Amino acid sequence: MAVFGYGRVSTKEQTTENQRREIEAAGYAVDYWHADEGVSGKVAAAHRPQFAKMLDQIRNGETLIVTKLDRLGRDAQDVGATIKMLATRRIEVIVLQLGKLDLTSAAGKMMLTMLAAVAEMERDLLVERTQSGLARAKAEGKVLGRPALTTEEQRQAIYAQHHENGISLSALARIYDVSRATIMRIAKPTPASLERCRVTRQPA
């Protein structure tokens, strides 16, 4: 039965060669190597070109090896679905990060359940910390959200320069070193943005 290796890196500047060497150094002879390079970990496994190609090529009962768990999916749910699908085909899944544990075995499934629980707890803690931080910043009077790219005076000048002096949107974008879309929102505001601006400027 053939042994398949799979690797992934997020940018084109990176290479999966180190992942392949790590698998071979662990004592596995890789017959087929598939790698997605320049593919974010946020992309589900089934939507990665080389991972999908590997699934078409690997046969029932063969072995798939990766260095880390996140190579198999974007989150605990995606990894779980991928492992479940591979298990139905009796494909052994080895993750070196977990000590060569076969995730399709009973022990491997228990490990996945534990990892999913930990991941869920980490997400809850992250949400809790984020909400706590926002509440603290608001109480301290800090302005939340992205900082404005232009000042109020600049926005008034941009509007006047476009409507009164006829300066093009592209020229204004170069002058103020912002995108044309930013200039468009200032020089040609929508009714909704004008309403938001009117409400914001009402006295407290």
Cβ pair 186, 155 in contact under 8 A: yes
Q: What are the residues whose beta carbons fall under 8 Å from the beta carbon of 71, sequence distance 6 or more?
A: 6, 7, 8, 19
Domain map (residue ranges) of the chain: 3-111, 152-192
Residue 122: the pLDDT is 63
Handedness of CA 72, 29, 31, 87 (dihedral sign): negative
**What would the two tokens of residue 134 be?**
């926002």
pLDDT in tens, 125-137: 777 777 887 777 7
pLDDT in tens, 4-17: 999 999 888 888 99
- Distance linking the first and last C-alpha atoms of the chain: 73
pTM (predicted TM-score) = 0.57
pLDDT in tens, 135-181: 777 787 776 666 677 888 888 888 888 888 888 888 888 888 888 88
Measure the CA dihedral 108/48/26/11, to 10°.
Answer: -130
Residue 204: the pLDDT is 43
Residue 3: the pLDDT is 96
Question: Could you tell me the CATH superfamily of domain 3-111?
Answer: Resolvase, N-terminal catalytic domain (3.40.50.1390)
User: Checking phi first, is residue 110 left (phi over 0); if not, alpha (psi -120 to 50) or beta?
Assistant: alpha
Q: Is 179 one of the annotated active-site residues of the chain?
A: no
What H or E segment, with its residue span, contains residue 115?
A: helix 106-139
pLDDT in tens, 78-102: 888 888 899 999 999 999 988 877 8
Residue 65 has pLDDT above 90, yes or no: yes
Give the pLDDT mean for 190-194. Answer: 56
Residue 200: the pLDDT is 44
